[in-house]
Homo-oligomer: A and B are copies of this chain.
Amino acid sequence: MAFSALLSMVLFGSLALVRSDILTPETENTNEPCFPVCDLVREFSALREKVGALETKLKESENQIVELKARESTKVAFSAATGGGNNAIGPYIADTTLVFRKVHTNIGEAYDTGTGFFSAPVAGTYVFMMFHHAGGNQIAGLNLMKNNDLIIQTFDHKSTEDTADNGGNAVILQLQKGDKLCVRLSANTHVWGNDFVTTFSGYLLSQD
């Protein structure tokens, strides 16, 4: 009769709900009768997987952003003049490391204002520039040294008639962390020393 038919539906439905293990949808037999909850469970499981994949990808992106920001924030740049109160520096009997004491910029503190040495804080590509002004009564000669190697030079002969001259040079170098560079005044040469004319600058162009 109507009452027992309805009751059967109720019983069947509720029991079906009880039987399906909703949190392990993988094991269920899709041929079995299943209430809409089963579909929801399947969808939920798929969404949970999607969220897990998103979490993994986002973590990767975050790591790449950290790396990009680290590169962006690794700044190395120095720029200094000899100072020296408008006097000649040199000549000396031996090659002598020039100390550029009038510092305009020293981002990253890679240039040692006490010794005149630049020490690469990270491996990468660096640009270096040096310029000199010098009186004509002596040879002028600056050597950019990388560790113990001569890299580039400015050089000028004596001239009794032309009482002053200038020189400059630049180089781009791939350095290893810890490589040391300095400007050496060649033995028996001089440059002019004040805050404006004989300078040494360098900066990190790109990190390796």
Selected contact of A22 from candidates B40, B50, B143, B159, CB within 8 Å: B40
The verdict on A94 contacting chain B, using a C-beta distance below 8 Å, is no
Q: A54-B54, A131-B169 are in contact. Are A18 and B44 (CB under 8 A)?
A: no
Residues of B within 8 A of A113 (CB): none
In the complex, A48 has a CB within 8 A of chain B: yes
**Interface flags, A164-200, vs B, CB<8A=1, else 0:** 1111111111100000000000000000000011010
Q: Could you mark each residue 133-152 of chain A with 1 if its beta carbon is under 8 Å from any beta carbon of chain B, else 0? A: 10010000001000000111
- Give the A interface residue count (CB, 8 A): 84
| Partner of A131 from B22, B105, B168 at Cβ < 8 Å | B168
| A window 1-31: CB within 8 A of B | 6-7, 9-11, 13-15, 17-18, 20-23
Interface residues of A in 101-127 (CB under 8 A from B): 104-105, 107, 125, 127
What residues on B are CB-neighbors of A7 within 8 Å? 7, 11
Q: Determine the chain B residues whose CB is within 8 A of the CB of A150 once the complex forms.
A: 196
A170 CB to closest chain B CB (Å) equals 5
Nearest first, the 9 A-B pairs at minimum CB distance are A79-B172, A153-B196, A22-B36, A166-B167, A157-B164, A162-B162, A159-B162, A161-B161, A168-B168
Chain A positions near chain B (C-beta within 8 angstroms): 6-7, 9-11, 13-15, 17-18, 20-23, 35-37, 39-41, 43-44, 47-48, 50-51, 54-55, 57-58, 61-62, 64-65, 68-69, 71-72, 75, 77-79, 81, 104-105, 107, 125, 127, 129, 131, 133, 136, 143, 150-157, 159-174, 196-197, 199, 201, 203, 205-206
